[in-house]
Amino acid sequence: FNKEYDLPKNVEVDSMKTELDHYGGLRVHFKRKLEEHKPECEDLSTEKEYHVKIWVPGYDPKDLSISTKGRELVIEGKRKKEESSEDGLSHYCECGSYKRSIYLGDDIEEDTVKAKFTTDGSVEVMARKDPKKLKHTEKKLKIEAPK
């Protein structure tokens, strides 16, 4: 008897263990290498509005958390996917999470920040800009020479 299977790319081969269950079935257990996932972002900002699109395919709005901390936008996602075969002989569980921070800028109006989930698997975050909040000061610096 010989049977071959393709393993997922992120399997830690050294962690693989096999066992026979009480029905005579072969079970294979292994750990997976966790890769840091940062969702892609697209900057759609204009002169009057901050607008960023964050791609989060496979996530539902309930799996996401978006918050602001000062001038930082923080996007976090967590999900757990479990599947079992119809005959109950195999079970698959996949968990994933990520966190991404994006600097908002000094000119946004904090009370106008809003987020919406779109049908194309992304979240869009928008806020109005107030150019008066930018401080355009100029200062000439004195250059100190070594003594």
Q: Write down the pLDDT at residue 96.
A: 73
Q: Give buried/exposed letters for 123-140 (b at 16+ CB in 10 A, else e).
A: bbbbbebeeeeeeeeeee
- Count of structural domains, the chain: 1
Q: How many residues does the chain have?
A: 147
121 in a domain, yes or no? Answer: yes
88 in a domain, yes or no? Answer: yes
Q: Write down the pLDDT at residue 46.
A: 92
List per-residue pLDDT tens for the chain, 147 residues long. Answer: 787 878 877 788 888 898 988 888 888 888 877 665 667 889 999 989 999 999 888 788 888 999 988 888 898 888 777 777 777 777 777 777 778 888 888 888 888 999 999 988 899 999 999 877 766 667 788 878 788
Q: Write down the pLDDT at residue 114.
A: 93
Which CATH number is 66's domain given?
Answer: 2.60.40.790
21 in a domain, yes or no? Answer: no
* Enclosing domain of residue 77: 36-131
pLDDT per residue as tens digits for the range 72-89? 889 888 877 777 777 777
Angle at 130 between CA 126 and CA 136, to 5 degrees: 130
**Alpha-carbon distance 55 to 40, whole Å?**
5
76 in a domain, yes or no? Answer: yes
